[in-house]
Amino acid sequence: MAVFPVTGEEYDKALHLSRRLRIPLVTDQQTETFDLLLLCTAQGLAVVGTGPESPGPVMIDFASPTMEYRRRHGGGRRQPMARAVGLKGENQPTVIDATGGLGRDAYVLAHLGCYVQMIERCPIVGVLLEDGLQRAKQHPGPAEIIRHRLTLTVGDSRTILQNLPEKDRPQVIYLDPMYPHRTKSSLVKKEMRILRALAGDDQDAPSLLEASLGCARNRVVVKRPRLAEAIKGITPSTVITGKKSRYDVYLI
C-alpha cells in the first residue's frame, strides 16, 4: 500500500497522509510496485488496485446519486435494518456502528434519526471515511445529517467498547463483520473487493459480539448474508430477514 498524488497540487496532502499512515509516498513510475494505492485527487481520496484485473477506484461519497436514492427510497423506518435497531415512532436511539466500513449503513441510520458513532479500525478506511464526511458537508442534505447525527472514531472497536464510560454506552450496537466468502461470485462488487483487501475478514467477530453485548444498553444487531450462519456462541433473540441480508438481534 502506498500514497500517490495524482497531480502536484495534491503532493502536500499525500505527504501528510504518508507520514500519518506510515506508508510510502510514490511517483508515477513506482505505482506498479504496490498492489493498492491511496490516490489523492482533486475530488477526494480513493483506493485503487494496480493489477490488470483489479477493481477501479473506490471513493466514499455520501452525496452520490446511489446514496441519495437509498436515503429517499430505501423503505424508511419500515426497512429491515431500521426495524432491527428498534426504530419505532419518535424513538431516536443512540447507535455505535462498530464496523464502520464504507459508512453506508451508519449514514442511513443517521438519516432515519439515530445518533450514530462509527468506529473503524482500519486506518486506510478511516481516512476514506474522514474524507467522505468532510466532502459531504458541502451538500445541504448530507451536511445536516453529518453535523448533528454522525461521527467517526478510528480505532479498535473491542478496546473502545470495553473502556467506554457508563454515560457513553449506546442503546444499540450495530455490527456488519466482513463475512469470509468462499466463492468468487461473492466478490463481484468492487467496493467489497477493495474493502476485503484493506481490512481482511473479521475473524474476531465472536469476541467483538461479546464486547458489544457487554456495552450496549438495549440490543446488539449483527448484519449477515441472508443464508449465512449466525456468529458462534450466542443464539440471537430474534431475526429480521431482508432480500439479501439478515439481521440477528440480541436483546440485552
**Do 140 and 219 reside in the same domain of the chain?**
yes
**Residue 16 DSSP one-character state:** H
The domain of 141 spans 65-251
Q: Return the sign of the alpha-carbon dihedral for residues 183, 185, 188, 192.
A: negative
Predicted local confidence at residue 187, as pLDDT: 44
Q: Are 66 and 29 in contact (CB under 8 A)?
A: no
119: in domain: yes
* CATH, residue 205: 3.40.50.150
For 105-156, how does the pLDDT look when each residue is reduced to its tens digit (9 = 90+)? Answer: 999 999 999 999 999 999 999 999 999 999 999 998 899 999 999 999 999 9
Q: What is the mean pLDDT of residues 44-51?
A: 92
**Do 91 and 216 reside in the same domain of the chain?**
yes
- CA–centroid distance for 167 within its chain: 24
For 62-118, how does the pLDDT look when each residue is reduced to its tens digit (9 = 90+)? Answer: 999 888 888 776 668 889 999 999 998 888 999 999 999 999 999 999 999 999 999
Q: Are 236 and 250 in contact (CB under 8 A)?
A: yes
pLDDT band at 53 (very low <50, low <70, confident <90, very high): confident
Residue recorded with cell 430474534: 238
Buried (b) or exposed (e) across 27-53, using 16+ Cβ within 10 A? Answer: eeeeeeebebbbbbbeebbbbbbeeee
- The count of other CB atoms within 10 Å of the CB of residue 174 is 28
34: in domain: yes
**Do 182 and 236 reside in the same domain of the chain?**
yes
Range name among 26-30, 32-36, 42-46 with the lowest pLDDT average: 26-30
180: in domain: yes
Q: Report the alpha-carbon distance of residue 195 to residue 209 in Å, rounded.
A: 21
Using a pLDDT cut of 90, give the percent of the chain over it: 70
For 209-235, how does the pLDDT look when each residue is reduced to its tens digit (9 = 90+)? Answer: 999 999 999 999 999 999 899 998 889
User: What one-letter code names the amino acid at 82?
Assistant: A
Structural domains in the chain (count): 2
Within 8 A by CB and 6+ apart from 59, the residues are 43, 44, 45, 46, 128, 132
For 149-206, how does the pLDDT look when each residue is reduced to its tens digit (9 = 90+)? Answer: 999 999 999 999 999 999 999 999 999 998 765 554 444 577 788 888 887 766 789 9
**Do 117 and 160 reside in the same domain of the chain?**
yes
The edge-to-edge listing of strands for the beta sheet with 36-41 is 2-5, 36-41, 44-49
